[in-house]
Amino acid sequence: MSYVDEVLAKVKEKNASEPEFLQAVEEVLDSLRPVIEANEEEYKKQALLERLCEPERQIKFRVPWVDDNGQVQVNTGYRVQFNSAIGPYKGGIRLHPSVYIGIIKFLGFEQIFKNSLTGLAIGGGKGGSDFDPKGKSDMEIMRFCQSFMTELFRHIGADTDVPAGDIGTGGREIGYMFGQYKRLRNSFEGVLTGKGLAFGGSLARTEATGYGLLYLTREMLKTNGIDIAGKTICVSGAGNVAIYAIQKAQQLGAKVVTCSDSTGWIYDKEGIDVALLKEIKEVKRARLDAYAAARPSAEYHDKKAEGSNVWDIKCDIALPCATQNELGIDDAKTLVANGVTAVAEGANMPTTLEATEYFQKNGVLFAPGKAANAGGVATSALEMSQNSERLSWSFEEVDQKLEQIMVNIFRNLDAAAKKYGFEGNYVVGANIAGFEKVAEAMLAEGIV
Ligand code: NDP
Ligand code: 2IT
């Protein structure tokens, strides 16, 4: 049995009840075969892959808070500090009822390679809670965030572990968490990213993941002789990543005709009105049916009632920007039958392994999330730099750096894929390019 298969079997046995984590590990280790085989004896002796798949530290804690009726509620908080070989742990905090340790571990594992791909000094981590922010008042959100931070603060720090946003955690939640950290530590430091501009946040961090996704997609298309201008795009999600992906796609001359939330989706044949979408999602925190009600060119579809989703609409480019495993094999078949040219993942692991392979077999350009959505964490690292020097850069300066980082990521993964004989396979390219630096650092730092 090869070393990769040996480790995969061990990881499966040890984490049998965490399917999302196993899915992420399987994809990465499978792609690393050519690199591992070239160094098999040394890596095996050093148990490099076993160490890579075992978090350095996992923290699980009680988060009690009081709701507006005076009732005590209890949630579970998590922080997985996965790998610090190349920098302090870095990664978002997800607030969603589906959160359990397997979700946080899959996200933390992906983050190791994503952060390495950015070329910046950040290790991999992720956190979250099964708290559901939907329908909660501002004060309930604040009390939850304060309680969450009352435990988390002892485990994080500007040079140790720097959390940020993810599903359910945006500017409001980061503000409350930062306030509580500062109060408990009596220290004003860059311990979280995605902060408000008045207290150390970076310009362009809000836009960064969506903008970065489009910069990388444009580079991938350009490398393959395709112009993004004039293309029709389907986006899923209607949160932070989706909104700014739609905005940048339109700035680059493409037409985005869909978006979605967890209950329904919009088809707008005239192209999504971003200002309206932002008003509904960022200001009113309402559902997407409000978009269709305000826009005659848009149709609203109820997901459950119709059993349909955005991937049923014909497009040239598909950008899944909602959540894991939202694009399965049936969706992939529909997209390919409708002539899709490229798929780039704005969310983390939105495409199932089967659907990814189907795209690749059918000649669809496929950019994996750990490369395509790395613009968010890259700009978080730029926020950390600004906090360290106690200066803030202009929007244009941050945006230019982001664009350059995304172009470099694509070039690096394209080169890595070619070097190992997998030209055009950007999944293999991203995993290898992300792994190489982490592996080198882990070996150099000894058995820790
Ligand atoms: P938001 O909370 O801002 O938005 C999430 C969107 O996805 C919402 O429209 C939400 O709908 C929908 N969604 C969430 N969970 C589900 C679900 N289980 N089923 C169907 N739809 C769902 O999160 P972000 O935009 O920040 O994150 C989206 C994805 O991008 C995630 O995978 C995240 O990990 C990834 N990502 C985020 C980065 C960032 O900087 N924010 C950086 C890199 C990746 P509803 O409102 O109805 O819940
Ligand atoms: O998945 C991700 O990369 C994020 N949610 C952003 C993490 C960060 O630290 O900015």
Per-residue pLDDT of the chain (448 residues; tens, 9 = 90+): 999 999 999 999 999 999 999 999 999 999 999 999 999 999 999 999 999 999 999 999 999 999 999 999 999 999 999 999 999 999 999 999 999 999 999 999 999 999 999 999 999 999 999 999 999 999 999 999 999 999 999 999 999 999 999 999 999 999 999 999 999 999 999 999 999 999 999 999 999 999 999 999 999 999 999 999 999 999 999 999 999 999 999 999 999 999 999 999 999 999 999 999 999 999 999 999 999 999 999 999 999 889 999 999 999 999 999 999 999 999 999 999 999 999 999 999 999 999 999 999 999 999 999 999 999 999 999 999 999 999 999 999 999 999 999 999 999 999 999 999 999 999 999 999 999 999 999 999 999 9
327 lines ligand 1 (CB under 6 A): no
Q: How far, in Å, is the centroid of ligand 1 from the Cα of 323? A: 5
- Which residue owns the Cα nearest ligand 1 atom 17? 262
Q: Is the CB of 372 under 6 A from ligand 1?
A: no
418 tagged catalytic: no
Which ligand 1 atom minimizes the distance to the CA of 205?
Answer: 40
Q: How far is the CA of 296 from the centre of ligand 2 (A)?
A: 35
| Cα 324 to ligand 1 centroid, rounded to whole Å | 9
Question: What integer pLDDT is reported at residue 43 of this predicted model?
Answer: 97
Question: Which pTM value belongs to this model?
Answer: 0.98
Model pLDDT for residues 307-331, shown as the tens digit of each residue: 999 999 999 999 999 999 999 999 9
| Helix ranges (DSSP H) in 1-123 | 3-14, 19-31, 33-38, 40-45, 48-52, 101-117
Atom of ligand 1 nearest to the CA of 114: 43
Pocket test for ligand 1, best of 96, 100, 166 (most atoms within 8 A of CB): 166
φ/ψ bin of 340: left (φ > 0), alpha (ψ from -120 to 50), beta (otherwise)? beta
261-296 confidence digits (pLDDT tens): 999 999 999 999 999 999 999 999 999 999 999 999
> Residue 169 Cα, ligand 1 centroid: separation in angstroms?
9
Cβ of 219 less than 6 Å from ligand 1: no
Cα–Cα distance measured from residue 130 to residue 47, given in angstroms and rounded to the nearest whole number: 33
- Our answer on whether the CB atom of 241 is closer than 6 Å to any ligand 1 atom is yes
- Is the distance from the beta carbon of residue 174 to the nearest atom of ligand 1 less than 6 Å? no
398: which 2 tokens? 């941050």
Is there an atom of ligand 2 within 6 Å of 90 CB?
yes
Q: Which of 1, 184, 5, 170 is nearest to 92 (CA)?
A: 170
Strands (E), 110-150: 123-129
